[in-house]
Structure 1
Amino acid sequence: MSLDAPPAQGTRWFGTGHSTLTDPAAAGTQAAEAAIAGRTPSVVFVFCSVGYQSAELFGGIRERVGPETVIVGCTTSGQIASGEESRDGVAVTAWGGPGLEVRTHVSRDVTADLRGAGAAAAAGLGTLSSRHRALLLLCDGLTGTQHEIVRGAYSVAGAAVPLVGGCAGDHLTYVRTYQFHGNRDGVEILSDAVVGVALGSDAPLGVGIAHGWRKQGEAMIVTSSSEGRVYELDGRPAMDVFLERLGIDESVTLDEEAFRQAAFLHPLGLSRRSGEDIRVIHGADRTDRSLICLADVPQGALAWLMESDQDSLVDGAGEACAQALDALGGEPALGVLVFDCAARRITLGEDGVDRENVAIGKALGGVPFGGFYTNGEVARVRGALGMHHFTMVTLAIA
């Protein structure tokens, strides 16, 4: 299914809204009123916690958009809207005005062919006429080998078009996530889907990516792995190496939450030309002594355990925003979309999350921003890679 929104007329704008009302219909209406403010958007992004994904959520939103407005979004592990954040709630971000093009395409039942789904999701790029283009992907957060979606999208987008986006969440329960796609006439609530949003603009679009992590200890070689499962590090069972390096008893693996809390503080960093690409360790398998990640950890890769602190993670958020603004080439930003890893949110804690939002606002100089906490982040400015974890990704619109 594809939807097109032609270039809008009037004054160009970017708005955000947020609600923590428990009733989905009331929450959607409140957030949409703040974001849209009586204007006609080209695109509306709806990010909500699991439990809000109902037809009622979209009723008040659909009443406030135009006949050509595209509505997209997904469930989250938390919402972000210009300094406000919530674990449970709804965030709405809307754009409109002249010089904006939006083309969307949904890939369904993607697990059977992730790379093909990513390629199909990029189909809208070919119909854009704007000078500046980007492909935004909203993916199911539980597909496993998420990098295959990005590789498929890259096969269509090529090196000249940046990729950006995030994977839907469910508060890290890993049960089910949802993706949204529709318009004023109705919105589909999907799972196992990829929503591709091809963006065109007559003004620059800027992507930023940063994480705030640093290497801990000596490098390791990934001597055995398959997709997101790491079997061996330096020729030994990966779980054993991980526990030994951290000085943690194996009993921690008997408590899934306790293990995750420890693992989130020490993700894997994979050596890349531009720095380390982060992989969150989500679990351990006592049967084969492997570590489980949600994205690829290539066999033969050079890897480190990583460490950070609240100050560095907060600084990373500011850096991601600064990069996106710098990519606008001096043009003022209208607003910024933010895709922040849910594991970062847990690691920061409530105080750190507040500090991070302040840092984002400071880095953006009052420019509105909205987004969500993800199960994986998409960002590719150069090269074919683009799937990340424990990272903040930003998209600035001039």
Structure 2
Amino acid sequence: MRVVVAHTEDPDVDGAIDEIAEAGRAGLDGRAPVAALVYAGIGMDHAGLLRGIAKVWPGLPTIGCTTDGECSSTLCFSEDSAVVLLLTGEGLRVRTSVAQGLAADTAGTVRRAVGGLDGQAAPPLMIALGESLNVSGAGIVSALNACVPASTTVVGGTAGDQWKFSKTYQFHGDRVISDGVALMAIDGDLEVSVGVESGWKPIGRRARVTRSKGNLLYELDGKPAMERFRAWFGGHTLPSPEHPFAVFEEGAEDSYLRAPMPLDPDDGSIVCAGDIPEGAMVQVTEAGRDQILDGARNAMRQAVALYPGDQPSGMLLFSCAARKQVLGTRTHQEIEALAEVAGGTLTAGGFYTYGEIGPLRPGAHASFHNETVVAALVGS
């Protein structure tokens, strides 16, 4: 297996296609690609980009989405760019599917997408890229878990639009849609490992979620959630992604993060960037920029330690837009930190998401994350 990355910052779609074709052909070295992942800034000509890729590699199974930032092992971190990951390898079998209608029927739409994979509902690896606005990312993942066995490693993220929260897009072939989920199933001679880490650490005591609905947190320990939050932080402090909640579901040893939004609803609730179930325990977390970068390193260390083969061919990266917001001018150091642990030569590509998808441990179903790095190593 080989993973090839082409990353262009050319704002002109024809120039971008030329760069992608040149870098892709050079990396493929005569091999035929079997799949493409395309991540692009919200301001690009997405339809033109996809048509151009289809012209260079006709019939190539392709999925992708818009982002909050793009990253690769060639240009590190960028915005308003396009990253194309090309996968090639003898014996790899790839199917893709897409379905629209998540806002009206999340579970049904996901079932249709999985059903469109022509029987490949239990491959070693599935990549899921979905809508993020007016749709529950946790709901997408829950629906996937109901259709796909835990033996399938599911990774991915929800689309972004550079912190505008206005409109995001998903790609399938040369189609550009919204309110959809695009899936890629990869079967055959494939080895996969995943590292999931954030860098944020819990502080203080835990509180029980006594009332919630979706991503709205109404009560903690029987009191209004905002009142409880301000008892911890004081005054008229607004919640912030800088202090996400660690969520411990009943009976679970692991936790995942939920980013609170800086809003102050009249009903005393806290709006989060993902669902929080009633009965779960939550704990406020904290981290500085150095700790966030250490989280990226630890995600890669996990993936390397769990990789079942000798040498991975590449890395699929999904990091959080909120991490980018907190890291600011140090965002590029996250990509450098991952490369540092990987040895500096691993081909990598990915994007900054509005929610990350990946399992907390091997053999587990995927979880939906905020403010987290999901690093997936692939090879054969």
- Pick the aligned partner of 1:236 from 205, 223, 230: 223
The alpha-carbon deviation at position 382 of structure 1 amounts to 3.8
Which has the larger displacement, 112-121 or 364-373? 112-121
What is the correspondence of 1:14-33 to structure 2 with a 5 Å cutoff? 14-33=3-22
TM-score of the aligned structures, taking structure 1 as reference length: 0.87
- Count of residue pairs brought into register by the alignment: 370
- 2:71 corresponds to 1:93: no
- Pick the aligned partner of 1:176 from 145, 167, 172: 167
Q: Report if aligned partners of 2:41, 2:80 keep a CA contact under 8 Å in 1.
A: yes
Aligned to 2:119: 127
Change (3 A) 1:32 1:234: farther
The alpha-carbon deviation at position 293 of structure 1 amounts to 1.5
Query: Distance between the aligned counterparts of 1:224 and 1:357, measured in 2?
Result: 38
- 2:201 corresponds to 1:224: no
Q: Which SS does the other structure have where 1:62 is aligned?
A: helix
1:171-228 C-alpha deviation (Å, 9 max, x unpaired): 122111000001xxxx000000000111113131222211111012111111110011
Aligned to 2:100: 108
1:73-112 C-alpha deviation (Å, 9 max, x unpaired): 0000000111511122111111112121111111111211
1:258-309 C-alpha deviation (Å, 9 max, x unpaired): x5xx601101110153432100112424221111113210112110111112
Q: Which SS does the other structure have where 2:22 is aligned?
A: helix
Change (3 A) 1:36 1:129: farther
Aligned to 2:326: 347
Amino acid at match of 2:247: L
Q: Report if aligned partners of 1:317, 1:360 keep a CA contact under 8 Å in 2.
A: yes
Query: Distance between the aligned counterparts of 1:107 and 1:357, measured in 2?
Result: 32
Change (3 A) 1:299 1:69: same
Aligned to 2:193: 206
Q: Report if aligned partners of 2:6, 2:23 keep a CA contact under 8 Å in 1.
A: yes
Query: Distance between the aligned counterparts of 2:107 and 2:77, measured in 1?
Result: 33
Aligned to 1:154: 145
Aligned to 2:71: 80
The alpha-carbon deviation at position 146 of structure 1 amounts to 1.6
Query: Distance between the aligned counterparts of 1:238 and 1:144, measured in 2?
Result: 23
Aligned to 1:8: none
Aligned to 1:54: 46
Amino acid at match of 2:354: N
- 2:262 corresponds to 1:275: no
* Identity, % of aligned positions: 32
- Pick the aligned partner of 2:316 from 325, 331, 337: 337
Q: Which SS does the other structure have where 2:335 is aligned?
A: helix
Aligned to 2:182: 195
The alpha-carbon deviation at position 348 of structure 1 amounts to 1.4
Q: Which SS does the other structure have where 1:160 is aligned?
A: coil
What RMSD in Å do the two structures reach over aligned CA positions? 2.1
Change (3 A) 1:129 1:280: closer
Q: Report if aligned partners of 2:154, 2:366 keep a CA contact under 8 Å in 1.
A: no
The alpha-carbon deviation at position 23 of structure 1 amounts to 1.9
Q: Report if aligned partners of 1:16, 1:36 keep a CA contact under 8 Å in 2.
A: no
Amino acid at match of 1:267: P
Change (3 A) 1:360 1:246: same
The alpha-carbon deviation at position 313 of structure 1 amounts to 1.3
Amino acid at match of 1:33: E
What is the correspondence of 1:287-366 to structure 2 with a 5 Å cutoff? 287-351=266-330, 353-365=331-343, 366=345
The alpha-carbon deviation at position 121 of structure 1 amounts to 2.5
Q: Which SS does the other structure have where 1:27 is aligned?
A: helix
Query: Distance between the aligned counterparts of 2:149 and 2:121, measured in 1?
Result: 16
Change (3 A) 1:53 1:285: farther
Change (3 A) 1:171 1:119: same
Which has the larger displacement, 299-308 or 48-57? 48-57
What is the correspondence of 1:242-281 to structure 2 with a 5 Å cutoff? 242-249=229-236, 263-272=240-249, 273-281=252-260
Aligned to 2:369: 388
Aligned to 1:7: none
Change (3 A) 1:144 1:19: same
The alpha-carbon deviation at position 323 of structure 1 amounts to 2.3
Change (3 A) 1:225 1:308: same
Query: Distance between the aligned counterparts of 1:189 and 1:129, measured in 2?
Result: 24
